[in-house]
Amino acid sequence: MPELPEVETVRRGMEKFLGPSVVAAAETRSRGLRVPFPRGLEAALTGRRIVKYARRGKYIVLHMDNGRAAILHLGMSGRVVLIPPGAPFRPGRHDHLVLTFRNGARLALNDPRRFGLVLLAEESGLKDHKAFAKMGPEPLSSAFTGKKLRNTLMKRTVSIKAALMDQSVVAGLGNIYVCESLFHARISPLRRACDLGAAESEKLAAAIRIVLKRAIAAGGSTLRDYRQADGRSGYFQHDFAVYGRAGLRCPGCICGKGGGIIRIVQNGRSTFYCERRQK
């Protein structure tokens, strides 16, 4: 579900809403998500002040005041719901983890499909943590350049679509933003990654950055039930050029009769693109 822009939006929402709050109580309400919750999760969180709300790829990293960190991944259907102090709250079936803060605010981690993840780690070992060890560069950092991207893609014979979905190539992209970035770079999702030239790689890296920045500015994309942590919808879905738009025209369409955006399946996932504008 949530890709980098949605995760970043949730991270910002948590930071703004909670700030440096202390966890008064932590309650797990199921065995866990994709994997069981870590042993002692509730005890590890209780009494801890959250001193930093970070993000790496699609993971949210909550740094605690004792040098440990709680790592959250929202999977396909995960949501973070923030409940103001004093507001009524009855946990629902899919609220798997509920934190209550000293001021009475609450945080519920809701995940119907349970593809999400909650981990504990030592802050000092985060870089080498299995979630991050092989993760590629942050696309909005200076470490992500066209040159760097090309060096990685050169070793890949899979489609550029599949390569960009791989978190070890670049962190944080998923199905939506890969499709959108490829459209903005005018590159066909069917091209082999290793066949992209230097100029195309530069163009693609720039497209990725622009698409992600615009999506973050719009508060992410709301499909089905994704919400920002404060409950508002994102609105980048209205700016999709190709994603979910099979049969429609892409922005600035140059096709005559026929043409339009098509949907194909690559590696078991939908890809949306324009055959005419993406080569």
Neighbours of 263 (CB within 10 A): 15
Residues 216 and 218: their CA atoms lie apart, in Å, by: 5
Minimum CB separation from DNA for residue 163, in Å?
A: 7
Residues 172 and 128: their CA atoms lie apart, in Å, by: 18
For residues 109 and 97, is the Cβ–Cβ distance under 8 A? yes
Minimum CB separation from DNA for residue 131, in Å?
A: 6
For residues 210 and 204, is the Cβ–Cβ distance under 8 A? no
| Catalytic, out of 11, 48, 55, 58 | 58
DSSP 76-128: TT-EEEEE-TT------TTEEEEEEETTS-EEEEE-TT---EEEEEEGGGTTT
Minimum CB separation from DNA for residue 271, in Å?
A: 9
- Residue 6 vs 200, nearer CB to DNA: 6
- CA 54 vs. chain centroid, Å, equals 13
Neighbours of 188 (CB within 10 A): 18
- Residue 124 vs 270, nearer CB to DNA: 270
Q: Output the six-digit token pair for 70.
A: 């709680």
| Catalytic, out of 38, 269, 275, 276 | 269
Minimum CB separation from DNA for residue 246, in Å?
A: 9
Residues 210 and 147: their CA atoms lie apart, in Å, by: 17
Pairing mode of beta strands 23-28, 95-101:
antiparallel
Note if 58 is an active site residue: yes
Note if 3 is an active site residue: yes
- Residue 44 vs 190, nearer CB to DNA: 190
- The contact set with DNA (CB under 7 A) reads 1-3, 6, 34, 57-58, 73, 75-77, 93-94, 112-115, 131, 155-158, 162-163, 165, 167, 174-176, 193, 220-226, 267-270
- Residue 23 vs 74, nearer CB to DNA: 74
Minimum CB separation from DNA for residue 92, in Å?
A: 9
| Encoded amino acid at 154, one letter | M
- Residue 41 vs 153, nearer CB to DNA: 153
Residues 88 and 84: their CA atoms lie apart, in Å, by: 9
Catalytic residue ranges: 2-3, 58, 269
